[in-house]
Amino acid sequence: MLIDEGLVDEVLRQLMSGKEAEVYVVRCAAEIRCAKVYKEASKRSFRQNVPYTEGRKVKNSRRARAMEKGSRYGRQEQEQAWQNAEVDALHRLAAAGVRVPRPYNFLEGVLLMELVTDEYGNAAPRLNDLVLSEEQAREYHHTLLMQVVRMLCAGIVHGDLSEYNVLVGSGGPVIIDLPQAVDAAGNNSAGIMLERDLDNLTAYFGRFAPDLRATDYGREIWSIYQNGKLNPGVTLTGCFERSEKPADVGSVMREIDDVMKEQTARLRYKQAMQQ
């Protein structure tokens, strides 16, 4: 299809097959790039679900209604929105200076983007394929920490970050695979996902630098973000002091009750308008 459209001159080889897509090395005139071909929803092992799609905006009201109803058209639009999320995230993150593959084009479920290469010009290996020295582990861990911070400053949480979603190119680690990326301000699970992302990285790098396992960067970064003080140059300690103050359960329950009452009122109003 990309060849027919004139976007690609030749498909050279398959690079990898992941849980949501297959990636190919392609030639575009004199440049070598990669094409990510998304799998159909029924053939993916990674499923879209509410924690990831919460907070995503759909500008077209007809599409939004169809997606809510789960009609055939709605499922198609939901799939399109899932793919567009990665394209949008790549553009936003590249503009923010995050190390991600540069996106070039997106057409009918195929994303054309930069091929990340090693120092010899070969396709870069995934982080999990490498055996690191303690010094390398510390360096890459710090680099990725600061990339996660820069992502969060741009309003995005990866949501599925691990050693399997990082390539090690000639310039260091590059973050990939972002269709499940979430909006930090609009998703109630964003903080939990950020902590999980960093826990995954800490567990991996802790194999080579064991003392990293004692750090708690996820909660530290999210706390700084919530306080409005996060910036790309922030100094991190890896420590986070948990509050020992007992939770005000009564206050929380009252807030939940208020929200439920508001939701009930909205539904009644909506039903009255439809009659």
Greater confidence (264 vs 50) lies with: 264
Greater confidence (269 vs 47) lies with: 269
Token pair for 254: 């009252």
pTM of the predicted model over 0.75 = yes
Q: Is the pLDDT of residue 7 over 90?
A: no
Domains of the chain and CATH, by start: 10-226 (1.10.510.10)
Separation of alpha carbons 100 and 93, rounded Å: 7
Q: Is the pLDDT of residue 171 over 50?
A: yes
Please report, for residues 19, 48, 74, 126, 215, the alpha-carbon distance to residue 164 in angstroms, rounded to integers and kept in the order given: 11, 19, 31, 6, 21
Q: Is the pLDDT of residue 61 over 70?
A: no
Which of 81-85, 130-134, 210-214 is predicted least confidently?
81-85
Mean pLDDT over 266-274 rounds to 69
Quick one: pLDDT at residue 155?
97
Please report, for residues 4, 18, 90, 94, 247, the alpha-carbon distance to residue 25 in angstroms, rounded to integers and kept in the order given: 17, 15, 19, 21, 53
Top mean-pLDDT range of 38-42, 58-62, 100-104: 100-104
Quick one: pLDDT at residue 138?
98
Quick one: pLDDT at residue 19?
76
Q: Is the pLDDT of residue 16 over 70?
A: yes
Question: Residue 19 has what DSSP assignment?
Answer: S
Please, which residues bridge with residue 35 across strands? 24, 112
**Please, which pLDDT band fits residue 66 given cuts at 50, 70 and 90?**
very low
Quick one: pLDDT at residue 18?
78
Q: Look over the chain and give the mean of its residue pLDDT values, rounded to a whole number.
A: 85
Quick one: pLDDT at residue 2?
67
Mean pLDDT over 238-262 rounds to 72
CA contacts within 13 A on the Cβ side of 142: 11
**Please, which pLDDT band fits residue 57 given cuts at 50, 70 and 90?**
low
**Please, which pLDDT band fits residue 150 given cuts at 50, 70 and 90?**
very high
- Decide: 12 and 32 in contact? Cβ < 8 Å: yes
